[in-house]
């Protein structure tokens, strides 16, 4: 049975160039050594590969390579940025009042981290509510800003809706405030241009597997001038300039760097082609009627399409689409039977929130794939509505 993959927002396959390079860093006759082993040429060669990757990621982000701190992915990067900022401030002033601004539709890696700080570190948090299109406005941030606000943490692109936050406008209103600005950019890389200097952010989280790199590797951009001070969360050797200890996985980092290189070279052309495929999918599905777009019509990245179908049970719909791999929300919450908290936050009823599907196309999706998806989804929805 043919199964079509339309869940690129959850993860992407490694690009062939990435997989090939990673394979060259695993065996005895390859570049397998510990990059921290500086007493022999094997270690030197591995370190060179790691620093080449650091440079490639820096080019993709528009930053200095020394501002790239390796992590296991965006979840760890979010924890390092948010907990690290609060703990560094607590070290300076244990009894200081600390306030964080975030939104109600952030990824759980941010929401759960902020909730942890509220419970255990006497931090207050403001959760901004999106409008009906899933957008957080700079004005909302302005109105929530307080003298004791130490951090604003917002995602560049919502992982369920694909909606884009106006990061430059928010950073502009923070320019005269001591709060740091952290951005979860996991869903932005590879889908839109990301430039940390133009955005003027202090901290930015990245996962390689969202743009055809390997799983289990990512980075946190940490601004150097002026320095964004954070406390490390993993101790044991002082790697990554004291911000993140642990033996660096040469093969994953080489793959991460290659994926970043491909993004830097092909992002614009990929974006244009993928947008055309996404729009083709949306036009085809609208013929069903009683279908609702979740998120803003234009202020979203090219690959996301989140829609709710009227007149069907969401769980049965998802279970019936065995020939199309997609999701009812983020991959991290796909086991939940609750309606999407993101769709609820933008005002969808329980019924439409349950019947919401996130479809995401990518680099390897074809027009034939999209037409197959339209046909199969239309068939299943019509059958469920009939019965």
Q: Confidence class of residue 239 from pLDDT cuts 50, 70 and 90? A: confident
My answer on whether 250 and 272 are in the same domain is no
Which of the listed residues 228, 262, 296 is the one where a domain comes to its end? 262
CA 228/CA 238 separation, integer angstroms? 18
My answer on whether 177 and 51 are in the same domain is yes
Can you give the residue range of the structural domain that contains 117? 16-262
My answer on whether 144 and 94 are in the same domain is yes
My answer on whether 121 and 68 are in the same domain is yes
Q: Residue 372 sits in a domain of what CATH number?
A: 3.90.1150.10
My answer on whether 365 and 381 are in the same domain is yes
pLDDT digits (tens, 9 = 90+) for 49-84: 999 999 999 999 999 999 999 999 999 999 999 999
Q: Residue 109 sits in a domain of what CATH number?
A: 3.40.640.10
My answer on whether 113 and 220 are in the same domain is yes
Which of the listed residues 209, 229, 262 is the one where a domain comes to its end? 262
Catalytic site residue from 14, 25, 219, 332:
332
Q: Is pLDDT larger for residue 293 or for residue 241?
A: 293
Q: Confidence class of residue 306 from pLDDT cuts 50, 70 and 90? A: very high
Count of structural domains, the chain: 2
My answer on whether 219 and 305 are in the same domain is no
Question: CB neighbours of 221 closer than 8 A, spacing ≥ 6?
Answer: 61, 63, 67, 68, 69, 196, 201, 203, 204, 205, 206
Which of the listed residues 262, 295, 326 is the one where a domain comes to its end? 262
Query: What value does the CA radius of gyration of the chain take, rounded to a whole number of Å?
Result: 21
With a pLDDT cut of 70, the percent of the chain lying above it is 97
My answer on whether 22 and 148 are in the same domain is yes
My answer on whether 109 and 228 are in the same domain is yes
Q: Quick check: 28 and 273 in contact, CB under 8 A?
A: no
My answer on whether 37 and 147 are in the same domain is yes
Q: Is the pLDDT of residue 343 over 60?
A: yes
What local confidence, expressed as pLDDT, does residue 332 receive? 57
Is 332 one of the annotated active-site residues of the chain? yes
Q: Confidence class of residue 3 from pLDDT cuts 50, 70 and 90? A: confident
What local confidence, expressed as pLDDT, does residue 243 receive? 87
CA 66/CA 58 separation, integer angstroms? 8
What local confidence, expressed as pLDDT, does residue 238 receive? 82
Q: Is the pLDDT of residue 330 over 60?
A: no
Q: Is the pLDDT of residue 354 over 70?
A: yes
Token reading at 84: 């690290």
My answer on whether 221 and 273 are in the same domain is no
CA 372/CA 69 separation, integer angstroms? 42
Dihedral of the alpha carbons of 151, 157, 158, 162, in degrees to the nearest 10: 170
Continuous H helices in the chain: 16-23, 41-61, 74-92, 108-120, 138-144, 167-173, 196-199, 250-286, 314-320, 341-345, 350-354, 367-386
Choose the weakest-confidence range: 93-97, 273-277, 313-317, 358-362. Answer: 313-317
My answer on whether 350 and 213 are in the same domain is no
pLDDT digits (tens, 9 = 90+) for 281-297: 999 999 999 999 999 99
pLDDT digits (tens, 9 = 90+) for 184-225: 999 999 999 999 999 999 999 999 999 999 999 999 999 999
With a pLDDT cut of 90, the percent of the chain lying above it is 90
């Amino acid at each position: 049975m043919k199964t079509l993959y339309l869940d690129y927002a959850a993860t992407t396959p490694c690009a062939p160039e990435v997989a090939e390079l990673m394979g060259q860093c695993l065996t005895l006759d390859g570049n397998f050594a510990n990059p921290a082993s500086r007493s022999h040429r094997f270690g030197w060669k591995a370190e060179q590969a790691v620093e080449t990757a650091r440079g490639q990621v820096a080019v993709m982000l528009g930053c200095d390579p020394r501002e790239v701190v390796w992590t296991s992915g965006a979840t760890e990067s979010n924890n390092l940025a948010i907990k690290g900022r609060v703990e560094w401030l607590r070290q300076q002033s244990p009894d200081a009042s600390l306030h964080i601004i975030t939104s109600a539709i952030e990824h759980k890696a941010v929401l759960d981290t902020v909730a942890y700080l509220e419970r255990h570190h006497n931090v207050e948090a403001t959760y901004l509510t999106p409008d009906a299109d899933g957008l957080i406005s700079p004005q909302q941030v302005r109105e929530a800003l307080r003298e004791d606000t130490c951090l604003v943490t917002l995602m560049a692109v919502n992982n369920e809706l694909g909606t884009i936050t106006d990061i430059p406008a928010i950073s502009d209103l923070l320019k005269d405030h001591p709060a740091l600005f952290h951005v979860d950019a996991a869903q932005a890389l590879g889908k839109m241009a990301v430039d940390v200097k133009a955005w003027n952010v202090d901290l930015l989280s990245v996962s390689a597997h969202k743009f055809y790199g390997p799983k289990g590797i990512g980075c946190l951009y940490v601004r150097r001038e002026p320095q964004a001070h954070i406390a490390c969360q993993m101790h044991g050797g002082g790697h990554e300039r004291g911000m993140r200890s642990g033996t660096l996985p040469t093969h994953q980092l080489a793959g991460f760097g290659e994926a970043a290189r491909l993004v830097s070279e092909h992002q614009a052309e990929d974006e244009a082609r993928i947008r055309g495929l996404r729009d083709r999918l949306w036009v085809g599905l609208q013929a069903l009627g009683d279908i609702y777009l979740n998120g803003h019509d234009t202020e979203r990245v090219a690959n996301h399409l989140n829609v709710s179908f009227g007149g069907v049970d969401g769980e049965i719909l998802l279970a019936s689409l065995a020939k199309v791999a997609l999701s009812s929300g983020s991959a991290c919450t796909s086991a939940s039977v609750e309606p999407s908290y993101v769709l609820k936050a933008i005002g969808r009823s329980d019924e439409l929130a349950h019947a919401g599907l996130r479809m995401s196309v990518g680099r390897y999706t074809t027009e034939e794939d999209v037409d197959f998806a339209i046909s199969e989804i239309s068939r299943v929805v019509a059958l469920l509505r009939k019965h």
